[in-house]
Amino acid sequence: MSIGVFMGKIDNSGRTKLPSPIRDFYARHAYINKVIITNSIPVCKGDDSGFCSGLSIFPHQDWQVLLERMGDDTFTDAQSEAIKHCIIAPATEHVIDNNGRIRVVKNLRVISNIDSGQEIVFVNWLNRIDLWNMDSWTNIGHAYKNKLQRWSMKQSVMYLIYDKEFRVAEVAHLLSVSSNVLEKWVNKQLDGGTCRTCKSVSDLESEKARSRKELSESRFEEKLLNNAQEYFAKVNQPNVQYTDD
């Protein structure tokens, strides 16, 4: 079954017709006549408003695989508990009718903000199908596009230093930023950063200091990437992805 994004609608009773590529695939595999519908994994909206969630549709066999994985070491205890409460507990089983339709129960439609008569989006991930209302899917798309653009611009800065062999001071001059801070930023990109856990009051104070430092670094990175974008626009040089191969 090919991956893809498909448009659809949901009627007043909560029924929706699976997209034709998915219906055709299911029709060729007669064993896929039942699906499990539940909450999807929450996805970050890309701003300060938190997360949003759609729905996930699993063929019955793939759902059984997920349940079996709950008993091995695939997930931590905390992850297992979250999956049980948010995904397994609200799951409902449905039979695909002869017209390729399924019915989404009301409580799942409410949680995922999918209203009757509304346009919806089917996102096929091979082993499951995610179902989103149009607004949520559009917002998520914008958020991840911005993240990819920031990542691309970071790679372009690294490209200047490592592929073009500019000295850090030269790049700092080109992008109108501090040479010392840029060098620290570059080292951080190479190190990948670390994750810390507070265990005492002194740890908490250290974490606060680190947070203030990261806020300053975040402001520097914002200036760096904005200046880099202006620089590449002026020289009409395409963003080139840096790899460590």
**Residue 130: beta bridge partners?**
56, 123
Q: How many residues does the chain have?
A: 245
Closest by Cα among 54, 51, 59, 65 to 23:
59
Q: List the pLDDT tens digit at each of the 245 positions of the chain.
A: 557 889 999 998 899 999 888 888 877 776 678 899 999 887 766 555 567 788 999 988 889 888 888 777 777 888 888 888 888 999 999 998 888 899 999 999 988 888 877 889 999 887 889 999 888 888 888 777 777 777 788 888 887 777 666 788 888 888 888 888 888 888 877 766 443 444 444 554 555 555 556 557 777 888 888 888 777 777 655 454 444 44
Helix (H) or strand (E) holding 101: strand 101-103
pLDDT at 134: 87
Query: What's the pLDDT score for residue 39?
Result: 92
Tokens of 107: 């409580």
**Ordered structural domains, the chain, with CATH:** 4-139 (3.40.1550.20), 166-235 (no CATH)
3-state class percentages of the chain: helix first, strand second, coil last, to nearest 5: 50, 20, 35
How many C-beta atoms lie closer than 10 Å to residue 179's C-beta?
Answer: 13
pTM of the model: 0.61
Q: Residues 1, 21: contact at Cβ < 8 Å?
A: yes
HSE-CB at 173 with a 13 A cutoff on CA atoms is 5
Of 88, 81, 237, nearest in space to 152 by CA: 237
Pick from 5, 4, 20, 60: nearest CA to 37: 60
Q: For residue 182, what are its two tokens?
A: 């840029």
d(CA 116, CA 122): 16
Q: Give me the pLDDT at residue 202, please.
A: 53
User: According to the model, what pLDDT value does residue 232 have?
Assistant: 75
- Please tell me the predicted confidence (pLDDT) of residue 105: 92
